[in-house]
Amino acid sequence: MTEYWCGSVDDEGVFVPFRGSPAELLVRVESLKINMQEFRPLSADLIEGSGFFSGRHEYLRQLREVTILQAQGVIEAAASGKDAELLQMVRMLDQLDEVINLLSERLVEWYQVINPSFSQKGRQGSVKRVLPKIRRSRSRSLRGMADELEGLIAARTSLAADVSRLAAQVIPNTSELVGGLVAARIMARAGGLEKLARMPGSSVQVIGAEAALFSHIRGNSPSPKHGIIFQHRRVHNAPREIRGRVARVLAAKLAIAARIDFYRGEADPGFLSSAQGLIDGIAGGGSE
């Protein structure tokens, strides 16, 4: 006997229809266990010969009702995960950073044209310090742009806080280990909490260092020690010689934390304190 979405065909080749709503048909199909070794697809002759469908159009119409229902279910399930919004927020945050950097550079160059004596030398980094100066410039148009940029920077700050807050709820264990922002970035780069939970620690360690990793796989360079994980202070503050080891241990614990987050969804104080102790022990110069 072979099972199909609309019924089954017994060993004599007789079609036995299954009657039900599209939802009932879908539940049935999803419960079927198909052995591909023995499976024979429905033939057009059989569909027509069954007399169950008034014609080709009717067959496709009813079949589509079921498959479209199934597809809609998959789409909804993907959007309803708690991590879906966090993922979008992190990506928005990272793109905001890029945009702010680009606009700041342009703004400073513009300002230098108006005020040729101005130099950024000795004013290390942050545009924030230059912005107030630019906002007093005599070009009205430039002042307007500077105002807008300041607005963007404020929006970025508040979004970052929102990401941390939401991460602490959605991925409490990973957030506890590396902070909400870094945890959320790692999750976003993995493609979601489920993907991260299925990832080995070694992948978590180099997430975000794909260029270096593939260059290594091609045999041109040493393996990367850390990806996004580097953004966490315990990794970038560690002495160079043990940075790789800290990253490795932290990544291993993050992989476990992600699994607890995905399958249990709540903080595990026992796991967290032992993991923190281990990582701090290594970061502090101890041996494994």
Partner 1 sequence: MIRIDGQLVSPGAGGVYFERMVKGYRVWDPYRSKLAALCMLDESVDLTADMKVLYLGAANGTTVSHVADYVDCVYAVEFAPRPLRDLLVVAGKRKNIVPIAGDATRPDRYAPFLEEIDLLYQDVAQPDQAGILIKHLPFLKERAGIDGGMRVILMLKTRSVDIRRTPEEVFAETVERLESAGLSILNTCWLEPYHHDHAAIVCGGGER
The interface with partner 1 within residues 2-41 (CB under 8 A) comprises 3-5, 29, 32-36, 39-41
Applying CB under 8 A, the span of 56-64, 160-168, 175-183, 277-285 interacting with partner 1 comes to 56-64
Q: Tell the smallest beta-carbon distance from residue 230 to partner 1 (Å).
A: 24
Q: Which of residues 71, 113, 114, 161 is near partner 1 by CB under 8 A?
A: 71
**Angle at the Cα of 191 from the Cα atoms of 266 and 173, rounded to 5 degrees:** 20
The interface with partner 1 within residues 182-221 (CB under 8 A) comprises 214, 217-218
Is the Cβ of residue 18 or residue 271 nearer to partner 1 in the bound state?
18
User: CA 228, CA 213: separation in Å to the nearest integer?
Assistant: 13
User: CA 30, CA 237: separation in Å to the nearest integer?
Assistant: 51
- Is 249 one of the binding residues for partner 1 (CB under 8 A)? no
Is the Cβ of residue 53 or residue 110 nearer to partner 1 in the bound state?
53
What tokens appear for 128 in the block?
């924030």
Query: CA torsion angle for 43, 45, 49, 50 (degrees, to 10)?
Result: 10
Is the Cβ of residue 64 or residue 165 nearer to partner 1 in the bound state?
64
Q: Tell the smallest beta-carbon distance from residue 244 to partner 1 (Å).
A: 23
Placement of tokens 């410039």 in the chain:
137
- Residue 34 burial class via C-beta count within 10 angstroms: exposed 0-12, middle 13-18, buried 19 and up: exposed
Residues 6+ apart with CB under 8 A from 145: 103, 107, 110
List residues binding partner 1 (CB under 8 A): 3-5, 29, 32-36, 39-44, 47, 56-57, 60-61, 63-64, 66-68, 70-75, 77-79, 214, 217-218
